[in-house]
Structure 1
Amino acid sequence: MGNPVAMFEIVSTDPSRLGRFYGELFGWTVNADPAWGGYGLVDTHSEPGPLMGGIGPSYQPGDTGVKFYVGVDDLGAWLGKAEGLGASRLVEPTDLPEGYGSFAMFADPDGNTVGLWAGPTGGS
């Protein structure tokens, strides 16, 4: 069985505007948190269980866009496997606040940014 897409993220120079856009378009709820710099967790209201997501602010030029995160059990091992297949490591395993697990990121051989996510019960 393959690893599932576990989370998505949309990074914008105006995350409030995009939160309203996706809320109106798809009926999603975006709960922006000022403590997280305006980053908002997205409830897609999908079934059988909603796909986790977030809409957040841009922190540097060129980081806007849509990213997906694949659920894995060991961030370091999967980063190493990706590098062995031609990827470049972008973000080392990093814990998320409030028990949301941890993540890492790499650029695939074409330069697309891909995230890895180990949920609250996963390892890093």
Structure 2
Amino acid sequence: MTTPPFDTVAWFQIGSDQPDSVKAFYRELFGWNFAADPDEDGGYDLITYPGNEMPAGGVAHVGDASDNHAIFYVLVQDVPAVLSAAERQGGKVDQQPVTAKNGLVFAKILDTSGNAFGVFSPPPAN
């Protein structure tokens, strides 16, 4: 598995209160494939593209339409350091760092126009 370069968009997420419908939409439109994330207890599906079995995004199952979203995530070496730098540049931390079961760390930032995006660092190497 090849890790994308740091400081590049390396993941995206679509949140939907109708995950089956949104998966069917993207499957028909682009031929995307979906599979339950084995690191989650349900409620998240990994997205792969035809010819590439490495997941590139996910579908989060959300409670209602007010939580529907589409967001990109930038791969970084140090999430807390990037949050501090974003605040110094006029951005705002929208979600403090969260550590997933596998050790991946992610957070959300609002840029100077209020656009939300995420940052994440990979889980530690085994």
TM-score range (shorter-chain normalised) is 0.7 to 0.9
Letter in 2 for 1:81: A
Q: Distance between the aligned counterparts of 2:6 and 2:105, measured in 1?
A: 20
Q: Give the letter aligned to residue 102 of structure 1.
A: V
Contact 1:6–1:51 (CA under 8 A) maintained in structure 2: no
5+ residue gaps, structure 1, are: none
**Post-superposition shift, 1:46?**
5.6
Q: Distance in 1 between matches of 2:111 and 2:25?
A: 29
Residues 1:2 and 1:120: Cα distance change in structure 2 (over 3 Å):
closer
TM-score of the aligned structures, taking structure 2 as reference length: 0.80
Contact 2:16 2:65 in 1 (8 A): no
**Offset, 1:61:** 6.1
Aligned residues: 119
In structure 2, relative to structure 1, the CA distance for the partners of 1:18 and 1:61 (3 Å cut) is: closer
Give the CA deviation at 1:75: 0.3
What amino acid does structure 1 have at the position aligned with 2:95?
V
Q: CA RMSD in A?
A: 2.5
Aligned 8 A contact 1:6 1:117 in 2:
no
For 1:73 and 1:84, locate their aligned partners in 2 and report how far apart those are by CA, in whole Å.
18
Tell me, yes or no, if the aligned pair for 1:3 and 1:72 is still in contact at 8 Å. Answer: yes
**Alignment identity in percent?**
33
Aligned amino acid, residue 41 of structure 1:
L
CA gap of 1:94–1:25, structure 2 versus 1, over 3 A, is: same
SS at match of 1:35: coil
What displacement does 1:60 show? 6.3
- TM-score, normalized by length of structure 1? 0.81
Counterparts of 1:60 and 1:25 in 2: how far apart (Å)?
24
SS at match of 2:67: coil
Per the TM alignment, residue 109 of structure 1 is displaced from its structure 2 partner at its CA by 1.5
Counterpart of 1:110 in 2: which secondary structure?
coil
Question: CA 1:59 to 1:85, structure 2 compared with 1: closer, same or farther past 3 Å?
Answer: farther
Q: What does 1:51-66 align with in structure 2 at a 5 Å threshold?
A: 52-59=56-63, 62-66=66-70
Quote the Cα distance in structure 2 between the aligned partners of 1:60 and 1:77.
33
